[in-house]
Amino acid sequence: MRRFIGVDLGGTHLRAALVDTETGTMSSLRRAATPASQGPQAVMTELAALILAVMADSQLPKAEIGGVGIGIPGLVDLEAGRARLLPNIPGNWGEVPLAETLSQQIGLPVRLLNDVRSMTLGEWTFGAGRGVRTMACYAVGTGIGGGLIINGKLHLGLSGSAGELGHQVIEPEGLPCNCGGRGCLEMYAAGPAIAAQAASAVIQRRQTLIRDLVHADINQITVEVVLDAARQGDALAKDIFERAGRYIGLALANTIHTLSPEKVIFGGGVSSAGELLLEPVRATVRQRVHLAPAEQVMITLAELGDHGGLIGAALWAKERSEEL
């Protein structure tokens, strides 16, 4: 049985699709808004409706669909099938039997996995990580998530927590992080940090095209605006991405010294900056890595875009079904 449904549970949108786990081909893609403010029960009801719609679109007998994998933007209790922490979706999710409830509603087994671990598995199997045995994946967006492939297998560690690359400490007495720590990479190089630096520059009346792009309204400053300015040659915007890249490079140097991966893949919305971000990442790695062959580590962009997580979640559902 090679067809599984992959689901992306996001803070603003839900997505689901049928995935051929032998080829990575997707079909019957469906989207819906996440009713986050209405609590876990409303979110689960919408998820079940979305999955059932994909099943109906596929026109396959239920017996030909092996199960459902869901990428969760937070910490997951893999064995209990619960979301331990969903920072961007309100509610006491730790008390909700998410996988069990959905399984009863749709009549298929449901497996949960962190969303960036899902993306990592998808990219390793069908994307930029094809053919390597060891790799790291950074997803740089509203936060910074990560995932690891070690010796040809998704590495999950204790309770599925391995791979939180965005919570490497790069400033020991730095900014407080939502994880409860201080000085995490996420606080210096994720989307909100990039937008905040741009807003601060506009408030300080520094010379930048960003001010004109938002008509001096700092509330309109986003990563996309800063990227637009950088691509138009704005020196300050380019410096902001270079600074973010240097911070990521510091964290990546730690990853390389620890893991010595063949490849490092970058995805997420901020990675659309491409070489504006990756060039300072690579430069910092060259400066900081001395005990591993850094020149052999390929640092590149993800290939599957928004679909990587969906494909990876379906692959995870397949992998868990084969363990039973």
**Domain locations in the chain?**
3-120+306-323, 130-301
Confidence label for 1 from pLDDT (cuts 50, 70 and 90): low
Q: Is residue 47 over pLDDT 80?
A: yes
> In CATH, what class is 3-120+306-323?
alpha beta
The pLDDT of residue 79:
86
pLDDT digits (tens, 9 = 90+) for 252-268: 999 999 999 999 999 99
Is the model's pLDDT at 287 over the cut of 80? yes
324 — pLDDT class (breaks 50, 70, 90): low
Distance CA 322, CA 319 (A): 5
* CA gap 34, 114 in Å, rounded: 17
Spatial distance between the Cα atoms of 219 and 8, rounded to a whole number of angstroms: 28
Spatial contact of 246 and 278, defined as CB atoms under 8 Å apart: no
Percentages (nearest 5) of helix, strand, coil residues in the chain: 45, 20, 30
Asked whether the predicted pLDDT for residue 152 surpasses 90, the reply is: yes
Which helix (H) or strand (E) element contains residue 164?
Answer: none
**Average pLDDT for 21-27:** 96
Q: What is the SS3 assignment for 132?
A: coil
| Domains 3-120+306-323 and 130-301 are alike in CATH topology | yes
Contact 265, 129 (CB under 8 A): yes
Question: Minimal CA–CA distance to 261: which of 155, 183, 159?
Answer: 155
**DSSP H helix total and E strand total for the chain:** 10, 12
Mean pLDDT of the residues in the chain: 95
C-beta separation of 166 from 138 below 8 A: yes
pLDDT, mean of residues 258-284: 97
Instruction: Give the model confidence (pLDDT) of 80-139 as tens digits.
Output: 888 888 877 888 888 889 999 999 999 999 999 999 999 999 999 999 999 999 999 999
Does residue 186 contact residue 169 with C-beta atoms inside 8 Å?
no
**Rounded distance between C-alpha atoms, residue 153 and residue 224, angstroms:** 34
Domain covering 130-301, topology: Nucleotidyltransferase; domain 5 (3.30.420)
Can you give the pLDDT at residue 158?
Answer: 87
